[in-house]
């Protein structure tokens, strides 16, 4: 008679194990990965290094910048450079002028650009592609090529030395990239929600402002940041339009400090002014970094 207790349990049967001598799967090492990381590190060093140097130089005297410690830490941390740059060098006035112009022009660019991009992306009509390529063709012309005719047009329309004229020019130059970016973004948005709003009786304006713009929030934030940075750093266009020193924007003011002072320039004040112009853009990007990345990648994952 067979003893049932000696029959092995099927679930207790040991599974075969790999022999000790079996070769393990080797982990492949990509030599290009190390080169890519080294290249990115060097690029970051080249990009961030001058910014750090400018920031440290804003706390130094002329002697420290050129003779004593050009690449070292400041010895006395001259905080008065920022106060002198803000008041004596009139950087405060230039800074406020830039804030005013950039805020108004960015708002106008986003309103007009988003409306044009929405119509070109969601509606079909005769001349749709012609208008789109007309907008995009503006990306092919460098700014300096239009400075002479731009001056003549602004003079004929009495827009010289006027914030309104500079705002209009900023909007005109920013519309090309704004329409190009947002037109592709609006194409990726689903049609079902827009159709449901149409069935509920929503008109064109209501569908755009209450349905499509909230859905396109990440793309709108991304292109708004690009416009803010581009208009904040613009130098050639204000030089053509703004002539009164009291109406200079920040880039004109910093250039004016460097040129007018000559060899007697207070370089600590100049670098403090540069720091004041750089910090706002760094803060804007740091705050909206996730929205920028989401807006740039949303079209690729849909």
If one compares 145 and 299, the residue with the highest pLDDT of the two is 145
| pLDDT given at position 144 | 83
Cα(183)–Cα(121) distance, rounded to whole angstroms? Answer: 5
pTM: 0.80
In a domain, 232, yes or no: yes
Whole-angstrom distance between the N-terminal and C-terminal Cα of the chain?
70
Task: Choose the weakest-confidence range: 60-69, 162-171, 178-187.
Answer: 60-69
Are 227 and 178 within 8 A, CB to CB? yes
> What are the structure tokens assigned to 253, written together?
């003011």
In a domain, 146, yes or no: yes
Q: Given a cut of 50, is residue 301 above it in pLDDT?
A: no
Per-residue pLDDT of 128-180, as tens digits, reads 999 999 999 988 888 888 888 999 999 999 999 999 999 999 999 999 999 99
Are 77 and 59 within 8 A, CB to CB? yes
Residue 187: which domain range?
Answer: 94-261
From the list 10, 36, 64, the residue with the least C-alpha distance to 267 is 64
Cα(114)–Cα(120) distance, rounded to whole angstroms? Answer: 10
Q: Given a cut of 80, is residue 101 above it in pLDDT?
A: yes
| pLDDT given at position 264 | 65
Per-residue pLDDT of 73-92, as tens digits, reads 888 888 888 988 898 888 99
> What single string gives the DSSP state of each residue in the chain?
---GGGSPPGGGSPPPPPPTTSPPPPPP--HHHHHHHHHHHHHHHHHHHHHHHHHHHTTS-HHIIIII-SSS--SS--THHHHHHHHTT-HHHHHHHHHHHHHHHHHHHHHHHHHHHHHHHH---TTHHHHHHHHHGGGGS-GGGGHHHHHHHHHHTT-TT-HHHHHHHHHHHHHHHHHHHHHHHHHTS-HHHHHHHHHTT--HHHIIIIIIHHHTHHHHHHHHHHHHHHHHT--HHHHHH--SGGG--HHHHHHHHHHHHGGG--HHHHHHHHHHHHHHHHHHHHHTHHHHHHHHHHHHH-
In a domain, 212, yes or no: yes
Average pLDDT of span 190-208: 87
Give the confidence band of 27 by pLDDT, cuts at 50, 70, 90: low
| pLDDT given at position 132 | 94
In a domain, 48, yes or no: no
For 88, phi then psi, to 5°, come to -70, -40
| pLDDT given at position 146 | 86
* CATH code at position 237: 1.10.3720.10
Cα(15)–Cα(159) distance, rounded to whole angstroms? Answer: 86
Sole residue written with tokens 């067979």: 2
Average pLDDT of span 111-120: 94
Query: What is the tally of structural domains in the chain?
Result: 1
Task: Choose the weakest-confidence range: 3-12, 39-48, 122-131, 256-265.
Answer: 3-12
| pLDDT given at position 296 | 63
Q: Given a cut of 70, is residue 53 above it in pLDDT?
A: yes
Q: Given a cut of 80, is residue 13 above it in pLDDT?
A: no
Report the percent of the chain where pLDDT is more than 70: 83
| pLDDT given at position 115 | 94
Task: Choose the weakest-confidence range: 8-12, 122-126, 227-231.
Answer: 8-12
Sorted by sequence, the CB contacts under 8 Å of residue 282 that are 6+ apart come out as none
- Total Cβ atoms within 10 A of residue 197: 17
In a domain, 223, yes or no: yes
Q: Given a cut of 90, is residue 231 above it in pLDDT?
A: yes
Average pLDDT of span 250-261: 82
Average pLDDT of span 6-32: 52
| pLDDT given at position 189 | 87
If one compares 242 and 14, the residue with the highest pLDDT of the two is 242
In a domain, 250, yes or no: yes
Cα(254)–Cα(258) distance, rounded to whole angstroms? Answer: 7
Cα(91)–Cα(215) distance, rounded to whole angstroms? Answer: 39
Q: Given a cut of 50, is residue 6 above it in pLDDT?
A: no
In a domain, 284, yes or no: no
In a domain, 235, yes or no: yes
Q: Given a cut of 70, is residue 244 above it in pLDDT?
A: yes
| pLDDT given at position 1 | 43
Q: Given a cut of 90, is residue 5 above it in pLDDT?
A: no
Q: Given a cut of 60, is residue 20 above it in pLDDT?
A: no
Distance (Å) of CA 268 to CA 20, 61, 188, 264: 69, 6, 49, 12
């Amino acid at each position: 008679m067979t003893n049932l207790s000696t029959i092995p349990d099927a679930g207790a049967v040991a599974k075969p194990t790999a022999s000790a001598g079996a070769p393990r799967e080797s982990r492949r090492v990509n030599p290009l990965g190390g080169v890519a990381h080294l290249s990115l590190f060097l690029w970051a060093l080249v990009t961030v290094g001058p910014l750090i140097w400018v920031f440290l130089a804003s706390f130094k005297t002329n002697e420290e910048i050129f003779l004593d410690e050009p690449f070292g830490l400041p010895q006395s941390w001259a905080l008065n450079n920022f106060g002198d740059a803000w008041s004596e060098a009139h950087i405060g006035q230039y800074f406020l002028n830039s804030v005013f112009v950039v805020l108004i022009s960015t708002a106008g660019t986003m309103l007009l650009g988003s409306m044009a991009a929405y119509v070109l992306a969601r509606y079909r009509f005769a001349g749709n592609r012609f208008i789109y390529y007309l907008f995009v063709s503006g990306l092919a012309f460098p700014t300096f090529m239009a400075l002479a005719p731009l001056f003549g047009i602004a003079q004929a329309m009495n827009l010289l030395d006027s914030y309104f004229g500079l705002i209009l020019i900023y909007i005109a130059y920013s519309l090309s990239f704004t329409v190009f970016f947002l037109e592709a973004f609006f194409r990726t948005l689903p049609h079902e929600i827009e159709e449901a709003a149409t069935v509920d009786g929503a008109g064109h304006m209501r569908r755009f402002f209450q349905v499509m713009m909230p859905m396109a929030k990440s793309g709108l934030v991304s292109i708004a940041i690009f416009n803010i940075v581009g208009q904040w750093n613009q130098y050639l266009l204000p030089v053509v339009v703004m002539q009164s020193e009291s109406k200079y924007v920040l880039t004109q003011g910093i250039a004016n400090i460097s040129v007018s002072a000559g060899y007697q320039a207070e370089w600590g004040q100049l670098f403090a002014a540069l720091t004041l112009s750089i910090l706002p853009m760094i803060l804007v990007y740091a705050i909206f970094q996730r929205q920028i990345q989401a807006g740039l990648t949303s079209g690729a994952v849909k």
